Structure 1
Amino acid sequence: MRQPNNEIKHYVEQKNYPYKELLENFTEAIYVISLQGKFIDYNRGFTSLVGPGEKYLNTDFLNIVHPDDIELAKSGFVETLDGKVLKEERLRIFAYDGQVKTIITSKVPLLGKEGELVGILGIAKDITVEVGLQSQIQQQYNRFRSLDKNSSSVNCILSETGEVMYQSPSVEKVLGYKPDEIRRPFISFVHPEDEDMVRARFAYLLAHPTEPQTLDVRLLHKDGNWRIIHVLSNNLMEDPDIQGIVINYHDVTEMRQAQQKIRYMAYHDHLTGLPNRRLFEERVQEELMSAKLESRKLAVILLDIDRFKFINDTLGHAIGDKVLKELAQMLGALVSETDVVARMAGDEFLILIPALTSTDYVETLAKAILKRLEAPIIVDHYELFVTGSIGITIYPESGEDLSHLIKNADLAMYAAKKSKLNSYKLFSPAMERASFKHFELQNDLRKAIHSDEFELYYQPKVRSHTRQIVGAEALIRWNHPTRGIVSPGEFIPLAEESGLIVPLGEWVLENVCKQIRKWEAKGYPAIVVSLNFSALQMLQKGLVDTVEAILDEHNVAGESIEIEITESLILNDDSDLLKKLEQLRELGIRIAIDDFGTGYSSLSYLTKYKFNTIKLDRSFIHDIHTSPDNQAIIKFIIQLSNQLKMKVVAEGVELEEQLAHLVEMNCDEIQGFLFSKPLPVGQFERLL
């Protein structure tokens, strides 16, 4: 620094340097620095900038300069001392409260009367706010540029002719191109199959500027692959800052592929790959609309594989699944390209024939399917023979909407199944009437339980040698209010199908117990009453507890009851069934196997289940007096039963000749029209 100058000291002390009063009232900060670099004077603008005036007098001006700007301040000071006018030097300084402020300062040499340098005159302007705003703007701009570069979306501006005027840097991330590599027309990146659609949408956007366009389009990636791009476009031709078509797009390839996969899974059968019922029904709805407009026909075929459950139960579901796959391929090979094959559920398949010219085609197809099913299906070295039942409906004769077409195809399929295996049926209105009757009867059956419309008949069982009544079988009858007596063969299958057999069975047991108590009160001789239990009854949870509760409620000994189960029920060799039979036997209840000889059970079941009674099926008794073979079989069964201490009851005895053979073979009891048909309670009591 130079030595102090006496003249500037005089100026300062006398406050008489040029324009002193004018400078004092300036809003900008005006200050004077001595040749030694100390503040020797400043105006009110300076104190407004940095703080109270007295604090800075005779202090080094570098004390308020930010450390990072000190070298710059020194350099400016030296240059000014050398006579140079310093314009708009930008510095950061500390105010009295420690706040950092940014200033722009200009410095000029201060000369004495003789023209000698006496100090430096400086003018400073506070630009802290402007710098802050500029910093925010720059930060926002940098953020925008970073987003524009690293975004997964691309912003693009096209001219009216489709030329790319701007492409955000993120295009490199999305499509692999640098922005300057994508200046050619946008349409040149579009997949050839999508070009017409894109041109049409672009033209529409130009003609309707207020209607944004959204679409998926395939664009060419730099690596040569086609990517699925979701595009949103807006017409901003009238915007003076844009003057173009603004397009925002991003890659949705993986998302669309995932959506397609999910849709495929939702609309296709996972096992066979065929369309599922949902997709099939949507296709039928579409074709129905077209058929109505074009006055044409269509057909729906429902194929059900007969006894498919047997394959699953005997060979396992893995084999069953392979059979279904083979069937799916077989159906696909038999239908035309326009037909649709779907898997409805389980072992049922649906076929849509959308353009039916005549019923001959659909019947020919049905016959071809059934013919193909006559050949064996080879799966894992198994040679399997399956048959099918086919129901056919035709629009508009068999129904005019989806629900009726499928429902009526189902009715036709069941009609085919009832007629014979491996057959087909065209729907007819008679099937619907029969189905409605079936439905109506099932509804009436539900009401009948609560309306006390049932009655028990009793068919006596007599000792074969003495013809003395020793028991009876309770048989349910339905007195329908309008139809009269309904055959058990008609309503028992309905009860089993609907699950009503369970409450119906409880009703039978309860009323049998009531009747036994009445007979005891009237002094009739004690007899054992047998009643049939269906498979559904035997499988119900809490069966034994229910039976025990009914016996206790009516104070009836278990020894008065015999439960008959069919031979087919024990084929599954169910340990739970064996346990239930043992628990029922512990209550004193007798167990009988009904219709013995009609099934395929092993004789070992006779010892395993420890039956009390074997009932010979009427098919053996029918020709016992004329068939030596049946005589031999029955004689063997009776002898075996005697050895196992089981009672034998012969059903369906109608002739004295039949009875004579049974007596000779030592059969214990008989039941049949020879002695009595099933009777109402009053008539049965007269026999007793």
Structure 2
Amino acid sequence: MRHANEPPALAQPVLDALLRADIGLLVLSADEQYVIRHCNALADELLTPHVGKIVGRSVLDIHDQLGVSNDRFLAGLEKARQHGEFRFPLKLSAKDGEHLLDARVRVTDSSDESPAGYLFVAIDRTALAASEDMRGTLQRAVDQSPVAIIISDPQGIIEYVNACFTQNTGYTAEEVVGQPAGYQRSGQTGRETYAALWQALRAGRDWRGELLNRRKNGRLYWDDVHIVPLMNAAGKVAHYLSIQEDISERKQNEDTLRLWATVFENSGEAVMITDAGNRIVSVNQAFTDITGFAPGEVIGEQPSILGSGRHEPDFFADMWHKLKTGGHWQGEIWDRRKSGEIYPKWLGISAVRDNRDQLTHYVAIFSDISERKAAQERIEYLAHHDALTGLPNRSLLADRVEQALAHAERNQSKLALLFLDLDRFKTINDSLGHPIGDALLREVTRRLLATVRDSDTVCRLGGDEFVVLAGDLADDDTAGTVAQKLLEVTLQPFEIEGHRLTVSVSIGIALHPADGDGFDILLKKADTAMYHAKDAGRNTYRFFTEQMNINVVERLFIQNRLQQAVANQEFVLHYQPQIALGTGRIIGVEALVRWQNPELGLIGPDRFISQAEESGSIVAIGDWVLREACRQARKWADDGIDQLSIAVNISTLQLHQNDFADQVLRILGETGHDPRRLELEFTESILIHDVDRVIRQIRQLKAAGIGIAIDDFGTGYSSLSYLKQLDVDRLKIDRSFIRDIGSDPDDAAIVRAITQMARSLRLKTMAEGAETSEQTRFLLAEGCEDVQGFLYSRPIDAAAFLRLFQESGGYFSRPSSTGMAAS
């Protein structure tokens, strides 16, 4: 009996119709013994290739062939008998692939209670399943896409966003779905961009572009955007698909690449890139400017095309060793330009490796240091030579004399120092001008060099004073013969720029070993003898004798008075303003000592400082000067002038006192002066002896905030390495270089070299002896920061300086053709 809720059994007419119909169904009918009695064309098409003929065969046999479980089949038939129908899935393999069937079995009508048979009906769901799989795959692809995907309706209302959108923007789908698009707008993309975007979309066209957007956290980022209108069957826009890729990193890399490309091409330093095989692959414009080679002439070549041939193989072996072990090398190297000129350059080479630590390139950066080396060599040269004549200076002469004395001791020979002073040179210099005087000095130099032997040394001490060192003399008379020749060549007229000039010299001679065995004593005695030659009527020479004591007595007289002057406090300070060239502001003063002698009146330092140094009284004088300068500076600060720095000259003897630094600090403590407003000036001679102790003293002063300046720079013993160790703040360019910078190219070149070197060493510069606006304009153009000289003010006493400062407001006007006046 059939239950009330069972589906009715199929009648035979219905079965016949199903078997004939072409409705995409697989239809089989079987009797109560499971023998197949009928099948339609589709069933035959699918099953026959696998199991052969099917009509008249048992379903159970066919299942065995297909590997289908008959137990499950019979259990299914039982359910069909109970409920009238049973549904089950079925997989069949065919020539065109696997088929997925949705199958049903129903019981057919019979005349009694036993079933008349069974009807099997199945529909092929293969295409539908594949379509659903594809849809799922596409959905996952969109959801998991590495770029942001936004779908909106025609009005721009967001309908969908994927996970990448949330990752890029910080907005979740819940926050944006149903809202108008535009959450990411930064406000920094031009309106014209959005106008073009909507114009394209409304016309049914795609739009591509880059937009500067803003994340939820407020940070800006770049999107590469592609928006596509999606059309419906009617050709109308149904949706907009927006694909957005965060390209912030790429943009940053592009900006960085553009920046580096600009730096590469516009760098003042040459850049050369080679591959791992050391073949040139790229050069910049500076490379061409320096070497003369165009890119096409060197790309593909090895850097050896630039070789000068001046370096040994060991030099390059060491270079490559450091490159391979440390990845970097730098140093000075000589190369050859395309023109054939050999020049020095400073070269740095770095090895470039990829993320797998594989060598890919070498990058070489270099600069032409020809001018720098020339400037350094010039400064080093000037440290030991006279700038005007090129002759050795006192420092180099002292070294030559010491060597000659050692040679004389070994060979038991004699040597002579001849001290020459031009007679009445000052009259020529003052009447015809410094350029004529300088030209005369150079011509005198030429004649002196032409007269003495190559082994002799001619030195210019300064002004119109020269010294000749003559060694390996057979006897004393030979020195007289040399002196006579010098008198004769200098007495002959000089033709200088249209002027016929006649000068003579007075010569003093000191001999070794008779007159001493050291440079200083020989020079002193030669100087004494020279003054006797002048007293004898000039244009003659004199040997030193012990009776020549007039100058000695005079010096003793001054030294005795100096001792009394220290005890009686007869010294006063005058102050010369120091000016910032760029603004005209008074930035400080230099304290200059004067001797107020009761008998002789006000005496300048040139008349007593050398004797004070020789006697040692310079230490006491220097202490008084420092104390008085600090006291006066403190008083000015109390009067409202509190931004001034005060410079004080320190002698070598002072510095060589063991407690010098401590003494300076004591004076600062006693006077209350700010150490940062004190600058101590030393001459380069401090570097000749006991350098280590000098450096220790100066470092102690620097640690307290005191400024350090090298006075008369370029006229004494200069060492760049010592300048670095001393941590100097300022170089004071000697007045001898400033005087003729407008007319003497050598002086101008020296000043330029000093200022360039100072800038390279990050030192300040101050020029001494500025007397004309032309000089100050030149100094300002060359980068000299500060200046002092008669153009602004002579040294004046404290009261006069206070009036000057108050009346000028602390400023001088800029230079003019007529001079400089307080504004």
The TM-score with structure 2 as length reference comes to 0.39
